[in-house]
Structure 1
Amino acid sequence: MDSDPGLRRSKRHHIGVDVGTGSARALIIDEDGKFIASAFEAIDEWQPRPGIHEQSVGQIWDSVCHAVKKALLQSGIQPESVRSIAFVATCSLALFTHDTNEPVAAGGEESTEKDHNVILWMDQRAKSEAETINKTNHELLKYFGGSISVLMELPKILWLKHHMSEVDFQRCKFYDLNDALTYVATGSQQFPCTEMCTRDALHIGVDGTAKGWDRGFLEAVQLEILATEDFKRVGGVCRHGRAPPAGTSAGHLCEKSARDLGLQPEVEVAVGTIDSYSGWVGTAGSRFDGQQDFPLHSRMAVVAGTSACYIVASRKPVFVEGIWGPYQDWVLLGHWMSEGGQVATGMLLQHVVEVHPAYDAALKLANNSDLSIYDFLDKHLEHMRSQSGVPDVSYLGRNYFYYGDLYGNRSPIGDPSMTGSVVGLTGDKSIDNLAIQYYGALEFIALQIRHVVSKMNEAGTEINSLFISGSVANNANLMRLIATSCEMPVIIPRQAGAAVCFGAAMLAVTATKKTSTGGTDSLWSVMQKLGQQGEIQQPEKNTLLKDLLDVKYVVYLEQCERQRVFRDMVEQAVSDRLA
């Protein structure tokens, strides 16, 4: 933080707001990309039934405002120095009435809480609707890696159609959450749904023809009502035939929102995006020695916390099974974005550690040493290696083979029915065994990233480097495993845990970069100028770790394939018996 108050007042500042699942975080940066202050505020969530997750745009907005005000107070800057703001959020669905702009209850006819007007991204209510959409085999499903996910917006809208009265459903308009926040901030009566339009129903235009909402697709998935009156229920017809790219200007703060946030009405509001793509913005532009050898299209961002998203910008459209996209001109003009992911990354590590019999004993030792449980296990593994005299930690778990799709597979298989499997279990209940099982889960995460990168490059992407942010980026063992498994350098930005919020702030900066022709500087140029300094983890070659990972990758692929074969065998036996 700058120590000279006069210097702080003379600079221009920009705010990025990241609305996550459980909190809203605001980050203030100056015009040089320097972190000035950040603050967060909790967000409420309601779970009326298992698998149902709801929130409130109004309550989220209150949390956003508190976070922004706390960050301003912490920073000591004058609100008048803030030039722009951008909102990024989870890919959750927000509901309003199209005629009166009132919130609409997300629970259908059963719900009485109109303020609960957000269906959270993780909500599982629309499984049958997702299956209905996928059974159409519509050509646009290729933009979802072959099948649409229950996590996306259209299955949720179809669920609402099935569970609301026809009159109430016809009054609804639907926003992705980040667009809803932009809509509230600007006071706009109709704001294009950038994320939902691009990822859920847009004919991207590989053939150079149609761009915009695809009427035929909406009719095929029983949502033809969304196409009426120029698609007004989903943001209307996109400007210039397409959704505005992230980082362009959406207007200025309206008077009410400016008062709510403690800012001036002149503050420019940037078009935001979902949080994972903001993580790409805050990660893929990281600076490091030798960065000239890694052009934009060669960089895959791994935004990894509870789950993980893998995002790459390509020079041409690339279709890959289990990978969402490609999405043209959504984040960067002239580029196609592709997105894969792991359903559970940090959540997988947490599960593996917490269910082990030695967890409580290990946690007590970790707390006594003022370490996180993962740091403690990393140190314990090194202690085990030293005590046994083996050349590498990886040798300790050489006969432990863990496959960790405990919550289904998003990429590269796209099979939500996938589960986990283990070879090498024993009756050992010691902390040593806990450490081995933890290391096995780290290996699985690294091997699955290798699987994704291999599939994407085989299909035509040009990935040769990994830029990793999020909470797991602080795990040195995992970074070493990923780099060596994928045979690529891993770059970790200095403030890896703040990459999503930092990406939002860079979107805000981009919206203010007016050129002499009236356009804007490219987002990529802003990312290069303001990107964080990154540390590099180089892959190991001709080492024991590399040899073991190559063998374990073969085992990983076998575990993945054999599980599906076993399921087919069982299903055949059951169907034969019940026929």
Structure 2
Amino acid sequence: MISSWVCYVGVDVGTASVRAALVTRDGLLRSTAEEPISIWEPQSDHYVQSSTEIWEKCCTVKVTQGVERNQVRGIGFDATCSLVVLDQTFQPVPVSQDGDRQKNVVMWMDHRAAEQAARITNTGHKVLSRVGGVMSPEMQPPKLLWLKENLKESCWNKAAHFFDLPDFLSWKATGSLTRSLCTLVCKWTYCPPEGWDASFWTSIGLEDLLENNFSKIGSVTCSPGSPLGGGLTQEAAVDLGLVPGTAVGASLIDAHAGGLGVIGADVKGFNLPCEDQPITSRMAMICGTSTCHMAISEQPLFVPGVWGPCLSAMVPDMWLNEGGQSATGRLIDHMVKGHAAYTQLQEQAHYLNSHLSLMANAHSAVDLLGSSLHVWPDFHGNRSPLADPTLKGMVVGLSLSQTLDDLALLYLATVQALALGTLHILEAMKEAGHDIRTLFLCGGLSKNSLFVQIHANATGLPVVLPDQMEAVLIGAAVLGACASQDYTTIQEAMEKMAKVGKVVQPNQELKR
């Protein structure tokens, strides 16, 4: 029998920080910690990071104080789907014109390869059917093509290993070059069981990646949560303060870890429309800097403008469709901090949610305050379902006034626009065959009560919030639990470790 005192470590590398958690077998967070990581913007739409710094922060973000090292039975990593470039000796290779070797990560939100993405889309290759028909500049093929075309001498010719950041972390921990199906299927056009499509890479001018059985981008794959190598290497164990050989699970993209941390929760007794229904009736929304909308199905469903279907990319043996919005939390920050009244907001310490409630004066729903101000939220392009990275944002209904009330209304209109964007994605998924009845939210924005309520109102669906608000970290720990073989499947682990905290129902007085 497995002791209830065993723990797992989940490590989440987000856009701007590394977070870690110590998680019990039944999914309770015993401790968490966070370390910031650097982001550089060498030029417009170029965002880069350092894999060396990221790994160092993974090792300094300690959560195991006061716990015997042998109580930690597994560790799992998730990260943003950023591109890491290393040379033959696994040293960093620069991804910018300045030649700084430490800046060797092209971030997920880097849009330098928009023109390459458009060219790849124009090939009409069959692999594009699994990315909604449109290649996004946030995926890895256009970024690789950009590096070849723009940094051939300083980067491309020296590169021997291209990792998705989650796979880089599991390699650092174990020395294993095995890649997670999550990263390769979702961001690199890999398609199990056939594998890589050589004709695709040749058609876009990257035929050199075919060398040595695709060794530069991954020859061996496995499902998320599968144990890698012999567990933690001696060096990684020292760095992380854990026992050598501790089980390490194949990694996940951060949004997909959030999906694992919420979507499988036991909902009995909450009177939800997804109760007694298959897990395919649920959609997970991971809401942070950007938002990802994750829906799974037993059979492949093709949704125009939505990524997927991806087999075993989140839940093994299930197909995943991933919608998304490129800027959500980042957009809200941009709108609020750029307003003339932002300094007044700081001085008066007003919270915008409570200020909006005062403005509504209890006589009408807060939603109705935004009836004369409208935002089109694609300030960083539309990821789905329009799949147009060239789209720009728009605000209609502005006046010359710059009061705190105006700031509150702009904030409200931005949140409403994001919620209507979710509705747009949801309708595209339903039209393609998904039967989604309940939303499961996690991530930083899920802690914003107005954001949650307006999503329930806009979609007409109940919203489930997790008991442990750091659901992404729970999802990462699920990987470690599976790798340790304390749970036999991802499905079993997420049902036991994910729990419902609160249910938010749509406001019935508001008719869509």
Superposition TM-score tier, normalisation by shorter sequence: over 0.9
From 343, 349, 368, the equivalent of 2:326 is 343
For residues 519-530 of structure 1, the aligned pairs below 5 Å read 521-530=488-497
Given the alignment of the two structures, is residue 42 of structure 1 paired with residue 36 of structure 2, yes or no? yes
Structure 2 residue aligned with 1:258 = 237
Given that residues 54 and 120 in structure 1 are in contact (C-alpha distance below 8 angstroms), is that contact kept between their aligned partners in structure 2?
Answer: yes
From 454, 467, 478, the equivalent of 1:506 is 478
Q: Cα distance 1:224–1:295, how it changes in 2: closer, same or farther (>3 A)?
A: same
1:195 positional shift? 4.1
Q: Cα distance 1:34–1:424, how it changes in 2: closer, same or farther (>3 A)?
A: same
Q: Which moved more, 1:416-425 or 1:246-255?
A: 416-425
> 2: CA distance between counterparts of 1:303 and 1:499?
9
For residues 22-421 of structure 1, the aligned pairs below 5 Å read 22-67=16-61, 70-73=62-65, 76-98=66-88, 100-107=89-96, 110-162=97-149, 163-165=151-153, 169=157, 171-188=159-176, 190-192=177-179, 194-202=181-189, 204=191, 211-236=194-219, 238=220, 243-251=221-229, 252-288=231-267, 289-290=270-271, 292-366=275-349, 376-386=351-361, 390-421=363-394
Q: Cα distance 1:290–1:169, how it changes in 2: closer, same or farther (>3 A)?
A: farther
Structure 1 residue aligned with 2:498 = 531
Structure 1 residue runs of 4 or more that deviate by more than 4 Å after TM superposition: none
Given that residues 258 and 264 in structure 1 are in contact (C-alpha distance below 8 angstroms), is that contact kept between their aligned partners in structure 2?
Answer: yes
> 1: CA distance between counterparts of 2:42 and 2:413?
36
Q: Which moved more, 1:290-299 or 1:469-478?
A: 290-299
Question: In percent, how many aligned pairs have the same letter?
Answer: 35
Structure having greater relative contact order (Cα 8 Å, sep ≥ 6): 2
> 2: CA distance between counterparts of 1:54 and 1:402?
29
1:97 positional shift? 2.5
Indicate the SS of the match to 1:302.
strand
> 2: CA distance between counterparts of 1:393 and 1:137?
45
Q: Cα distance 1:348–1:456, how it changes in 2: closer, same or farther (>3 A)?
A: same
Give me the CA root mean square deviation.
2.1
TM-score scaled to structure 2, two decimals?
Answer: 0.93
Structure 2 residue aligned with 1:460 = 433
Indicate the SS of the match to 2:216.
helix
Q: Amino acid of the residue matched to residue 273 of structure 1?
A: L
Q: Cα distance 1:427–1:167, how it changes in 2: closer, same or farther (>3 A)?
A: closer
> 2: CA distance between counterparts of 1:539 and 1:10?
38
Given that residues 193 and 235 in structure 1 are in contact (C-alpha distance below 8 angstroms), is that contact kept between their aligned partners in structure 2?
Answer: no
Please give the per-residue CA displacement for 1:245-292, whole angstroms capped at 9, x wherever unaligned. 111111311111111111111200100111110111112123442463
Aligned length: 504
Q: Cα distance 1:197–1:377, how it changes in 2: closer, same or farther (>3 A)?
A: closer
Indicate the SS of the match to 2:64.
helix
Q: Cα distance 1:395–1:171, how it changes in 2: closer, same or farther (>3 A)?
A: closer
Indicate the SS of the match to 1:62.
helix
**Of the two, which has the highest radius of gyration?**
1
1:200 positional shift? 3.8
Please give the per-residue CA displacement for 1:517-559, whole angstroms capped at 9, x wherever unaligned. xxx6221111111112320011233x1xx23xx2xxxxxxxxx
Given that residues 197 and 212 in structure 1 are in contact (C-alpha distance below 8 angstroms), is that contact kept between their aligned partners in structure 2?
Answer: no
Given that residues 383 and 389 in structure 2 are in contact (C-alpha distance below 8 angstroms), is that contact kept between their aligned partners in structure 1?
Answer: yes
Indicate the SS of the match to 2:81.
coil
Structure 1 residue aligned with 2:12 = 18
Given the alignment of the two structures, is residue 441 of structure 1 paired with residue 435 of structure 2, yes or no? no
For structure 2, the residue ranges without an aligned partner over 5 or more in a row are none
Given that residues 257 and 472 in structure 2 are in contact (C-alpha distance below 8 angstroms), is that contact kept between their aligned partners in structure 1?
Answer: yes
Q: Cα distance 1:197–1:524, how it changes in 2: closer, same or farther (>3 A)?
A: same
Q: Amino acid of the residue matched to residue 490 of structure 1?
A: V
Q: Cα distance 1:49–1:384, how it changes in 2: closer, same or farther (>3 A)?
A: closer
> 2: CA distance between counterparts of 1:476 and 1:512?
36
For structure 1, the residue ranges without an aligned partner over 5 or more in a row are 1-8, 367-372, 515-519, 551-579
Q: Cα distance 1:381–1:21, how it changes in 2: closer, same or farther (>3 A)?
A: closer
Q: Amino acid of the residue matched to residue 359 of structure 1?
A: Y
Q: Cα distance 1:330–1:432, how it changes in 2: closer, same or farther (>3 A)?
A: closer
Given the alignment of the two structures, is residue 486 of structure 1 paired with residue 459 of structure 2, yes or no? yes
Q: Amino acid of the residue matched to residue 457 of structure 2?
A: T
Given that residues 10 and 76 in structure 2 are in contact (C-alpha distance below 8 angstroms), is that contact kept between their aligned partners in structure 1?
Answer: yes
